[in-house]
Structures are given as C-alpha cells and as structure tokens.
C-alpha cells in the first residue's frame, strides 16, 4: 500500500470510527438535519433510512480497513 493511501486511511478511518462509536449521538443529529431540509415526512423517512444503511455500510468498511491497517 502506498504511503499516500496509508496516510489517508490513517486519518479518515479513525475519524469515521469515532462517528461510528458515538452513533447514538451522530446518527440522530444527522437524521434531525434530514428532517429539517425535507418538505414531506415520507421523503424525510426515506432519506433517514438511506442514511442509516449508509452508516452501517460505512461502519463495516471502516472496521475492515482498520483491521487491515492494524495488522
């Protein structure tokens, strides 16, 4: 792995891991912002479900990268 990619991962992966670790704070804040910027409840709920699944996918990817970096 090149040093640029390793540097990128070593900075952003722990940052995302903090967001993932404090999901009970960051996820409701993101969802509240999604409610503020939508016109209908259905659109807001769809957006929040997408944010939740993106958050789950991001947590799996970041955990995998973190395991690869630490080994």
pLDDT tens digit sequence for 24-46: 777 788 778 878 888 888 888 88
- pLDDT for residue 9: 73
**Average pLDDT of the segment spanning 42-53:** 84
- Tell whether pTM > 0.85: no
> 3 burial class (0-12, 13-18, 19+ CB within 10 angstroms)?
exposed
H or E stretch covering 56: helix 41-70
- pLDDT for residue 42: 86
- The residues, ordered by sequence, that sit 6+ positions from 60 with a Cβ below 8 Å of its Cβ are none
Report the length, in residues, of the chain.
71
- pLDDT for residue 1: 58
């Amino acid at each position: 792995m090149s040093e640029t990619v390793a540097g990128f991962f070593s900075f952003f992966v722990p940052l995302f891991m903090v967001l993932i670790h404090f999901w009970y704070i960051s996820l409701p804040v993101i969802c509240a912002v999604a409610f503020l910027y939508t016109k209908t409840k259905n659109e807001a709920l769809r957006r929040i479900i997408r944010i939740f699944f993106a958050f789950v996918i991001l947590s799996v990817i970041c955990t995998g990268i973190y395991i690869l970096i630490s080994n």
